[in-house]
Structure 1
């Protein structure tokens, strides 16, 4: 070519000397190292062959002996591998596999407590990053295992829910993987995540798109036992949610899981995971939708058929576990007939009697639910002859039996008492159930659960409905004593205290029960209950007070030992307790003395007969002052009138002698001794009553014309009132001047005061028997009128005036209106006394026996208000 033209090819005249190049190159270097520390230094090398060779040696070293793994842990190999990110940054698959294998081995030999949460979180974070980009199947298998181990820490598992990218790939790999190890570790990791979630979090987690629930269900029939066991654990958690929003809301999925469970069980009822499948199936059948599918799709028949075929080959305890699914299904009454027809009731009874050392709780629960079906109930009752009831009672009182089984046994006995009372109750009484229940309650809290105690108390309540049984239980005093002791230690549980008081109400009719309660500080327990912050407890104890004021010993205890005081002083704290006020009135109704002191009023139903009735001339703002006088003081400042028709002379035990050295300024003649008495006898009062009855008899007014108890003789109310008023006047008119109603002059109060002063000297005390009072004004006469009226059955009140100085009486005398059916005397005479209303005031001072309409001028004049 001509000059300036570029040549495309030039012939070479010189070539590279390859021999010289090879001689100058770096030849391979082989170094033999037998020191572990030195070998670990090579992990920092950037040469993949070097790193691969070191990792290979470390893997062989770890396989030789467990102690070698401990040596690697001491060298902090785990932290080194995580820090260097070898299994993420290495391009070589072999390096990544070796690295993950070593981490797996080290983690497998590491307990949860050995690693700090920060270390676990760091390892998991590196694992997540690798998991998201790794495609090698072996690496993913190792990574799944490592993640599964890290999730043992609940804090780590909780944080996993926030890693959305990981969860998405986790679901994809789990659904598509054919590697058994990857599958089992994925399911176990899912189980750990579900365990730490609340119900709401679990619902959100399982509602994520593509949640692999169907894959988990499929694995129930996997050939590998470990996978089946892992799937069972996950399903047991998920099936516990029976809400409509759960992952098992679609019917096809419900049927699929039931079908898989039945298929897995029927394939091999003796397999190691068979009992686990039964537990999951029992959990599933807690849902009515699942139970309906179970019966309608004939899965129940399939289970029963296989169970009957294999029942002879299976151990009794295995059979008893299997029938737990029928115990759950028995919750729905619609299927009880099919369950009983399949002879499941007999299976339950057999398991109850033969299970050693104790039957499972669901065996008794199944029997309890079967009692709704009549044929099943007859079968159970027929089993009494074989010791069914004996076994149940033994379970209830056996401390070594699990508390859940004891609870179910006690509940079952209570249910049998309701369903078949006569047969069950008679059998229990023959077995001396009182002793068994006493021994059970004696174990106390916390040995017993609250549910067990409540069931035991329910048994006592049900048996006590029969008078004969209640009497037998009442005579067995240790039972009552244990209940009282239990009450004192149960105030931390309001529901328990409530039920104990309710139980005591059913047996308190028996006298031995009342005696034992008094000896076991029932009053102290009542005080504590009244001061409780729980309205449930306060309602229960006030109801108990209402029930027990029928008995004088309880009424006396409530008044003398401070119960009434607590009720009165804590009324403002009991505005939500409807029985608080009635409890006060119930006590006061049985003690007219305290009622009149507190209320300053006695109504038609407040009867003064039957016990001492004390009325003080003084009006007390605080009833406790009067209580102290009755308890301790012998000489109150004001006279106290004592009414009693049944004690002609004082009891010697009530007399209190005054020592002679205390009588300095008193002239004592002869051997006269001074004694005073707060419960003096009254010889004259019965005589006055007898004279009154004779007068009424002469006038034909002793009994009501219809001779009906508690009926009201309105026709003769005025006549009887006048006769009683005249009898009162004849007793208390000594030195009393009868004045005109219209006069402003006061009655002879001074005469009465002097007369009472004289009586105080005679009796050496201010407690004066009413029959000894011969001079009286409105105050004394009103008391005697009320007492006479109560004795002969005339409805009458006793009312204290506002200033406290005057008492007066009111009687009911209907103001009949013409053609008013509501005021028909024929109807009103049968009206209960508590519904009567006072209409007239009785004049005892001026126009003896006259009745003045209330608010009339005469009534106001009588009360000195006009």
Structure 2
């Protein structure tokens, strides 16, 4: 049986299916249709996704679309060759991106931004522009996406689209640019790419949302000076004034919403005098004053005052504002009900207070009293700004300081030092410091407990608090009662601790306070117990930390303890007086264990204290013995030397007494035969102590005689120095008034002499001569 072959088709089939209508009822079907090769199906699928996304803006439905994988095909379809497919894909993608954070996060990972930017060309459909910019506006809130938009050259087409005929395209493009210009580099790029003119044109938009966005964007870009110059060139000030003056045909209520933003742009642009003069010419300053006093518009008032504050940052601008009588406006605003308005007014007063005439004007208008009243307000921020205003108003202005005093502001300022914010404490301390320069006010400040109130701020970690508190303390400590109160309040320890800081301003102010406090001997000794001398010594050995003030602080501390001063510096000046309890411990770096002490006379109080302290059976504290021999020498000197009138004779007579007490004259060549060391060793053995009273020494050389001469001279009212040299050398310098008759000099001149106490007792050797140098050195 034969096989049957297939019948061949004579002609191919030329018929086609008629278009079929598909109806998708589930999201899964819609997403599946996005992969169809048929353009009509793609158009309908994109449209269905858009409708579903628009109606189901709930997060769960958006996440459902994400889970079905809708984003990836949509991102591919926005580059489709078919315009309708491309448009519908953008509509769906833009709707999803604008309404869900998860969608935005997913798009960021898909690197879709270059494809979106590519469709911003002017040849593209307006609907594509609208939803492409909507996508970018949503994505541009993310930092990484901002960088991607900028790096893919998205800024130029976005600036172009600011002039689009479609308001939605303008709004979306503007919103994207606003998000981008938060970055400094992009802010500059907007200016370079010509973005200022179209931004200014949008101020005339019929849509308030676009005007708001334009003003907010201008606020950011106008922070750059070059951008401000371009604003001037493009009549930007006039356009801003149009908004502020309500000259554009838009209802007043809408303009009120724009005033705040417009004022902030103006504030950025009037920082230099040239810009201010321009705005003044078009009536800008007058309009600003009107806004400050506009009732029932607190936000606009506040922004107008902030604008004035910004203007007042330069001296030339302050002068112009003063000529416009801005002080009257600000003082009136200090009494409004709105807290933000008062706060802004205080800031403006602070700025204007750098102009001396304005300081006086504020006082004459009662502004200082008004600011003092604000110190009791419940608002922490307002109190902070009020203290700042008072600090500036009282700086270098005596009358303003008394105005605060008369308003009893110093009492409230002292209370502000307790538990307030750091800036409030710093400002309060600065104001009190300014006021305390006047004795009457200073005493009143102290009477209200300023010293205890300053102790806690000395422990602060805030630099300005520390600087202002220590400077205030330095002024208050001019009074003896303040120094005593600081010690009893426990303020000396935290003050000394500030010397450890490496902040120059804090260190400088702390040294100033220590310098003043050290004028009181008990206070100085207490600071020394806390290590002030050692720390200051380290500071003054440091190239980076030492200063004139740190050296002065150390000098003041040493002046209160001449024993330590002589040990560290080897020098006692004419004004340094040796008194009971002085020790010569030698150079501190030599760690000398032999101490020579001076004890002229114990008072009755000292004796009673010694008798009142019982000795322990196991521990007997060392007591300074009374130096009777020294007391007799001082008495003898007073009886004989004080009767002499000639200064030379007095010095010579005292030198001879010291020489006699210390073993007599010794020839230079026989100095090595003078057995003073054995004598000292015997004294230490007899006393069972390294501390040897100076009056017990019968054999002494340069260092012992110079110390005795200085001690007796100080006791009887003669002036001399004590200088330590090398190898046990020491000497005294005296000032003797000489007159040269040959020159017919009417007045005598003081001449410096070194007193010879060793070889030719009583001889005065002219300083810096060969004879003097021979006496001072080996």
TM range (shorter): 0.7 to 0.9
Corresponding residue SS for 2:727: coil
For structure 1, which runs of at least 5 residues remain unmatched after alignment?
Answer: 1-16, 627-636, 663-674, 702-715, 830-835
For structure 2, which runs of at least 5 residues remain unmatched after alignment?
Answer: 1-9
* CA distance 1:421–1:299, change in 2 (3 Å): same
Matches within 5 A, 1:311-390: 311=294, 314-316=296-298, 318-331=300-313, 345-359=327-341, 361-370=343-352, 380-381=362-363, 384=366, 388-390=370-372
For 2:419, the equivalent position in structure 1 comes to: 443
Corresponding residue SS for 1:237: helix
2:425 maps to 1:489? no
2:380 maps to 1:401? yes
For 1:82, the equivalent position in structure 2 comes to: 74
For 1:159, the equivalent position in structure 2 comes to: 148
* CA distance 1:846–1:468, change in 2 (3 Å): same
For 1:465, the equivalent position in structure 2 comes to: 437
**1:436-478 CA-partner distances (Å, limit 9, x unpaired):** 334333225xx434xx44322220111111112111222333x
Corresponding residue SS for 2:380: coil
For 1:643, the equivalent position in structure 2 comes to: 599
For 1:749, the equivalent position in structure 2 comes to: 676
Q: Which moved more, 1:414-423 or 1:211-220?
A: 414-423
Match 2:393 to one of 406, 410, 416? 416
Partners of 2:289 and 2:554 lie apart in 1 by: 62
For 1:809, the equivalent position in structure 2 comes to: 732
Partners of 2:742 and 2:457 lie apart in 1 by: 62
For 1:54, the equivalent position in structure 2 comes to: 45
For 2:4, the equivalent position in structure 1 comes to: none
**1:636-670 CA-partner distances (Å, limit 9, x unpaired):** x64633233564795242467666789xxxxxxxx
Pick the structure with greater CA Rg.
Answer: 1
Matches within 5 A, 1:533-552: 533-552=502-521
**1:202-237 CA-partner distances (Å, limit 9, x unpaired):** 3244213xx231121122121111111111111111
Count residues in correspondence: 763
* RMSD (CA atoms): 4.1
* CA distance 1:513–1:603, change in 2 (3 Å): closer
Matches within 5 A, 1:770-809: 770-771=694-695, 779-804=703-728, 807-809=730-732
Partners of 2:367 and 2:34 lie apart in 1 by: 79
For 2:133, the equivalent position in structure 1 comes to: 144
* CA distance 1:140–1:658, change in 2 (3 Å): closer
> Is the contact between residue 613 and residue 644 of structure 1 (CA under 8 Å) also seen in structure 2?
no
Q: Which moved more, 1:371-380 or 1:215-224?
A: 371-380
Corresponding residue SS for 1:286: coil
Greater RCO (CA < 8 Å, at least 6 residues apart): 1
Corresponding residue SS for 1:442: coil
For 1:223, the equivalent position in structure 2 comes to: 206
> Is the contact between residue 336 and residue 342 of structure 2 (CA under 8 Å) also seen in structure 1?
no
TM-score (ref. length: structure 2): 0.85
2:222 maps to 1:239? yes
* CA distance 1:213–1:32, change in 2 (3 Å): closer
For 1:294, the equivalent position in structure 2 comes to: 279
Partners of 1:306 and 1:768 lie apart in 2 by: 83
Match 1:97 to one of 87, 96, 99? 87
For 2:578, the equivalent position in structure 1 comes to: 608
* CA distance 1:840–1:40, change in 2 (3 Å): closer
Partners of 2:568 and 2:44 lie apart in 1 by: 102
Partners of 2:562 and 2:494 lie apart in 1 by: 26
* CA distance 1:737–1:502, change in 2 (3 Å): closer
> Is the contact between residue 526 and residue 541 of structure 1 (CA under 8 Å) also seen in structure 2?
yes
* CA distance 1:109–1:856, change in 2 (3 Å): closer
For 1:107, the equivalent position in structure 2 comes to: 97
**1:374-404 CA-partner distances (Å, limit 9, x unpaired):** 8865664355499613333225xx5x433xx
> Is the contact between residue 842 and residue 849 of structure 1 (CA under 8 Å) also seen in structure 2?
yes
Partners of 1:123 and 1:215 lie apart in 2 by: 27
**1:657-706 CA-partner distances (Å, limit 9, x unpaired):** 666789xxxxxxxxxxxx8754444556455434423323543x2xxxxx
For 1:505, the equivalent position in structure 2 comes to: 474
Match 1:592 to one of 540, 543, 562? 562
Partners of 2:630 and 2:147 lie apart in 1 by: 87
**1:796-846 CA-partner distances (Å, limit 9, x unpaired):** 233445233x6443434589899889xx793533xxxxxx75x33323x55
* CA distance 1:335–1:79, change in 2 (3 Å): closer
Q: Deviation of residue 590 (structure 1)?
A: 3.0
> Is the contact between residue 756 and residue 763 of structure 2 (CA under 8 Å) also seen in structure 1?
yes
Partners of 2:605 and 2:314 lie apart in 1 by: 72
Partners of 2:595 and 2:314 lie apart in 1 by: 73
For 2:762, the equivalent position in structure 1 comes to: 849
Partners of 2:677 and 2:42 lie apart in 1 by: 125
**1:772-815 CA-partner distances (Å, limit 9, x unpaired):** 666666554433221222234433233445233x6443434589
* CA distance 1:581–1:462, change in 2 (3 Å): closer
For 1:475, the equivalent position in structure 2 comes to: 447
* CA distance 1:448–1:109, change in 2 (3 Å): same
For 1:41, the equivalent position in structure 2 comes to: 32
2:182 maps to 1:195? yes
Partners of 2:766 and 2:322 lie apart in 1 by: 75
* CA distance 1:433–1:650, change in 2 (3 Å): closer
